Amino acid sequence: MAKKERTKEDVEIDLWWEKKEKKLLLICSAICCGLGLIVGLVVGITEGGSDIIFAGIFGGLWIGTGVGVFISYLPRIPHNLKQEVKEGGGCLAEGCSDIVINFLKTIAIGLIILSALGPIGLLIRFLWGKHEIKKLEKELSSFGQ
């Protein structure tokens, strides 16, 4: 199936999503990082020992940041599914089961990978979002004002 030509409105919507996602990424990562710090500190104190406290704090910050990155991605999933359905001809088409399977894979793999990556995942997602925003702004400027 040939890809449809994007309209100015499509690009504006995608740009709005990217900017919203960038803000949400930073907010979710900060909140989950703080929660991870608290959980890591509590676990470190209850287990005892300065090494365990340090490992608990570091692990909590790392995993908390990764979970925050994953959580910030969740609002984007319905938008991506709508785009997939729109391009695929609707959910009643043959590819509906593929869409559901891809959704479940995205959830499972995303949670595992982004939690493991922690702050590195945050950096990657932040820089990728910045790149996408620049690309969409350039595409929007090609439509003219």
Q: How many helices (H) and strands (E) does the chain have?
A: 5, 0
51-78 pLDDT tens trace: 888 888 888 888 888 888 888 877 777 7
Share of the chain above pLDDT 90, in %: 8
For 134, other C-beta atoms within 10 Å of its C-beta total 11
Q: pTM above 0.85? A: no
Does position 90 have pLDDT exceeding 70, yes or no? no
* CA dist., res. 22 & res. 43, Å (int): 31
Q: Report, as an integer, the average pLDDT of 15-37.
A: 89
For residues 57, 63, 64, 69, the Cα torsion angle rounded to the nearest 10 degrees is 150
Give me the pLDDT at residue 133, please: 92
Give me the pLDDT at residue 94, please: 55
* CA dist., res. 6 & res. 132, Å (int): 16
Give me the pLDDT at residue 98, please: 64
Q: Report, as an integer, the average pLDDT of 9-30.
A: 87
Query: How would DSSP label each residue in 116-144?
Result: HHTHHHHHHHHHHHHHHHHHHHHHHHHH-
Give me the pLDDT at residue 88, please: 64
